[in-house]
Structure 1
Amino acid sequence: MADQVPPVPSPPSPSPSPSPSLPPQGEKLGMPPADPMLKPSPPSASFVIQLPKDQIYRIPPPENAYRFNFYTRQAAKRQRGSCSRCLFFLFIVLSLIFIFLAAALGIIYLIFLPKLPSFSIDSLSIHNINLSSSAAASPEVDLTIRSANTNKKIGIYYRDGGSVVIDYSGEVLSRGAWPSFYQGKRNVTVVQTALRGSGIRFADDLRGSLTAAVKRREVPLGINAELPMRMRFGAVKIWTITVKLQCDVTVNKLTADARILNELCRAKVDVL
């Protein structure tokens, strides 16, 4: 019987030697691998230059300074020209408005021919003036004024805030209010108002002058009033104007039954 020869084990196949790894694309042999956190380099056709902030200058280089100054002057001229055009346009608009208002007022004046009312002093009654004593006085004057509106097409509104003052030689004796009311066209209204003074002390020379006037039976007094009024032209009311009334009155004595010897009143519009 033939002997069985055991199978001879085959020699182990040699393991393939590791092939050297090729560097990634873009890296050269012998160079350390690139840091994956760094940004990729820009293409070779472009360049990025980083400068510190303190080395960035905004002044143009000498070769461009003339062009920069030229464009700067041109921009300033355009800006000044724009402002000038706006101011000129505003002036034109305001001038047209002023001309329109002046023309409207002129037409109203020619159509209606407005006139201020005329005034006269009807009577006055004086109380509590004692010239024989140097004590403080509280003069009381009951005043009656006649107002005549002679306009044919204009009514007058007397507004609140009117005042009346009576004085002797500039020394105020008493003061009071002018009532508010409407006075129609071609209307005469009699206004009664009470004037009151308090703590009036006459200087010696003023008391002597007033006493001499009473003895002569010619006491000059001044009556001044400020009357805010608004005229009505048909259905149109104009703005409020202030009329100043000045009256020079002479009475025979300073009592309740004082009689007016003469009087003169003047009215004008206060333009201030």
Structure 2
Amino acid sequence: RSYLSLFTIETLLCTNSLVCVSHFQIHFNHFFFFFFFFFFFTRFTNFAVTFVGSISLMAERVHPADSPPESGQFSGNFSSGEFPKKPAPPPSTYVIQVPKDQIYRVPPPENAHRLQYLSRKKTNRSSCRCCFCSILAAIFILAVLAGISLAVLYLVFRPEAPKYSVEGFSVSGINLTSSAPISPKFNVTVRARNGNGKIGIYYEKGSTVDVYYNDVDLCNGALPAFYQPANNVTVVKTALTGSKIQLTTAMRKEMRNQLSKKTMPFKLKINAPVKIKVGSIKTWTITVKVNCDVTVDNLTAPSKVVSTKCSHDVDLW
């Protein structure tokens, strides 16, 4: 910078042209020399700093320790008792030891056992699933076939339930003026109507017939066994008896009140085992349950049925 200032001052103070030109050339040569010297000096300084830094990094780098010798390889020098040392690797060289299984991609043995266990479990699960699906399919097919069969039978035979009514209901043996136990007797006439055109009904043994007053069982009996063909009306008579039935004072009073109105209500219950005949085939035993509300005008033998209402139910099993 001082050199340039001096050069500028001399240029301004110069009066002789020839002398000024010579001075200018001399100063220009000096300036060019100093410029190139400064340029090469800075380049050399940067290179020296970079080289020294790389040498220090290489000196500080630590190489991995040598691996121990493999089994079966021994040194010939047994006097020292040590294995020969391997030559140190060249600079910037690293030794990485990788297991052979990872190089060849060999799975561990436990993976094979796990794969075998999972495959066996999947096979068992798939077989159970197939068996379950087969059972469901069989049940579905059987249900469809049963529904089709029932629909065909219904369309062919047009079944209808039989109808029941009480034709006669006579009472005797009930004394309401005394507090002694009673032994009532009932003669019941039941009318059964089978309106099926192709179905017959077998009334089996083992039926029960009971008469109740306010849930008190007064007497019991049974229907006779008989066969009722198709499109038939059958009237059945049965005798019912009771023994030593104790009536409460309130019940006797209530029955006397009903008798004065000539409306003595009773309840008739019938359980009858039957078999249905379709062509030449008999079904299993079915229980028919008949419940009738019967009202009579008197408690003597020539009593008259004032009203009757019957309902029935069927137990298929």
Using the size of structure 1 for normalisation, the TM-score is 0.72
Q: Which amino acid aligns with 1:226?
A: N
User: Which residue of structure 2 lines up, in the alignment, with residue 237 of structure 1?
Assistant: 282
User: Which residue of structure 2 lines up, in the alignment, with residue 248 of structure 1?
Assistant: 293
Gap change, CA 1:66 and 1:196, over 3 Å in 2? farther
Q: Distance in 2 between matches of 1:129 and 1:76?
A: 79
Q: Which amino acid aligns with 2:193?
A: A
User: 2:193 is matched with which residue: 121, 140, 148?
Assistant: 148
User: Which residue of structure 1 lines up, in the alignment, with residue 211 of structure 2?
Assistant: 166
Q: Which amino acid aligns with 2:115?
A: F
State percent identity of aligned pairs: 36
User: Which residue of structure 1 lines up, in the alignment, with residue 304 of structure 2?
Assistant: 259
Q: Which amino acid aligns with 2:177?
A: S
Unaligned runs of 5+ in 1: 1-61
Q: Which amino acid aligns with 1:186?
A: N
Q: Which secondary structure state, in structure 2, belongs to the residue aligned with residue 110 of structure 1?
A: helix
> Shift of residue 95 of structure 1?
1.9
User: Which residue of structure 2 lines up, in the alignment, with residue 21 of structure 1?
Assistant: none
Q: Which secondary structure state, in structure 2, belongs to the residue aligned with residue 166 of structure 1?
A: strand
> Shift of residue 114 of structure 1?
0.8
User: 2:167 is matched with which residue: 122, 128, 141?
Assistant: 122
Gap change, CA 1:172 and 1:63, over 3 Å in 2? same
Matched, 1:96 2:136: no
Q: Distance in 2 between matches of 1:72 and 1:198?
A: 77
User: Which residue of structure 1 lines up, in the alignment, with residue 267 of structure 2?
Assistant: 222
Using the size of structure 2 for normalisation, the TM-score is 0.62
User: Which residue of structure 2 lines up, in the alignment, with residue 11 of structure 1?
Assistant: none
Q: Distance in 1 between matches of 2:129 and 2:205?
A: 46
> Shift of residue 63 of structure 1?
4.1
Gap change, CA 1:74 and 1:262, over 3 Å in 2? same
Matched, 1:135 2:175: no
Q: Distance in 2 between matches of 1:267 and 1:248?
A: 12
Relative contact order: is structure 1 or structure 2 higher (C-alpha 8 Å, sep ≥ 6)? 1
CA deviation vs aligned residue, 1:122-143 (integer Å, no higher than 9, x gap) = 1122222111222222222121
Matched, 1:68 2:113: yes
Q: Which amino acid aligns with 2:286?
A: I
Q: Distance in 1 between matches of 2:144 and 2:131?
A: 20
Matched, 1:203 2:248: yes
Q: Distance in 2 between matches of 1:177 and 1:87?
A: 50
Q: Which secondary structure state, in structure 2, belongs to the residue aligned with residue 108 of structure 1?
A: helix
User: Which residue of structure 1 lines up, in the alignment, with residue 128 of structure 2?
Assistant: 83
User: Which residue of structure 2 lines up, in the alignment, with residue 55 of structure 1?
Assistant: none
Matches within 5 A, 1:184-199: 184-199=229-244
User: Which residue of structure 1 lines up, in the alignment, with residue 72 of structure 2?
Assistant: none
Q: Which amino acid aligns with 1:94?
A: I
Segment drifting more, 212-221 vs 172-181:
172-181
Q: Which secondary structure state, in structure 2, belongs to the residue aligned with residue 178 of structure 1?
A: coil
User: 1:113 is matched with which residue: 152, 158, 162?
Assistant: 158
Q: Which secondary structure state, in structure 2, belongs to the residue aligned with residue 72 of structure 1?
A: helix
Gap change, CA 1:65 and 1:137, over 3 Å in 2? farther
Q: Which amino acid aligns with 1:145?
A: V
CA deviation vs aligned residue, 1:84-111 (integer Å, no higher than 9, x gap) = 2112212211222222122111111111
Q: Which amino acid aligns with 2:267?
A: G
Q: Distance in 1 between matches of 2:211 and 2:291?
A: 10
Give every structure 1 segment of 4 or more consecutive aligned residues whose post-TM-superposition deviation is greater than 6 Å: none
